[in-house]
Amino acid sequence: MLSVFNSVPTHMDYKGQKLAEQIFQGIILVSAVIGFIYGLIIEQFGWTVYIVLAGFGISCLLTLPPWPMYRRNPLNWQPVIPESSGETREKPQENMKKKKHK
């Protein structure tokens, strides 16, 4: 059961993580400012909360799934070093697994 979830690739590369964090912080801060001003004008604090929640939803959609724009700078792994015949069967498999997971 858990292995099914673990096999779904969700990683972002380092630059992608930074970009995702900047995107959600920007969206939520902007929606907070808009919501505060709008709520102050129409005198309804409820609308401030709704607008911030909308910003939360939008940034969830934009930053939770690992969209391709967060995976443009993959890490350059060193090529597989050939070793003695006993371990060559396992090592490449491990490396492939690693690439999928990270």
Partner 1 sequence: MNTVLSRANSLFAFSLSVMAALTFGCFITTAFKDRSVPVDISVTKVMLKNVDDFTGPREKSDLGFVYFDVTADLHPIFDWNVKQLFLYLSAEYSTKSNALNQVVLWDKIVLRGDNTKLNLKEMKSKYFFFDDGNGLRANKNITLTLSWNVVPNAGILPLITGSGHISVPFPDTYETARSY
CB-CB contact of 15 with 73 (8 Å) = yes
Instruction: Single out the residue of 15, 49, 97, 100 in contact with partner 1 (rule: CB under 8 A).
Output: 49
| DSSP states of 34-81 | HHHHHHHHHT-HHHHHHHHHHHHHHHHHHHSS--GGGSSS---PPPPP
Stretch that binds partner 1, among 56-64, 77-85, 87-95 (CB under 8 A): 56-64
Q: Smaller CB distance to partner 1: residue 11 or 95?
A: 11
State the minimum distance, in angstroms, from the CB of residue 49 to partner 1.
7
Is 37 a binding residue for partner 1 by CB under 8 A? The answer is no
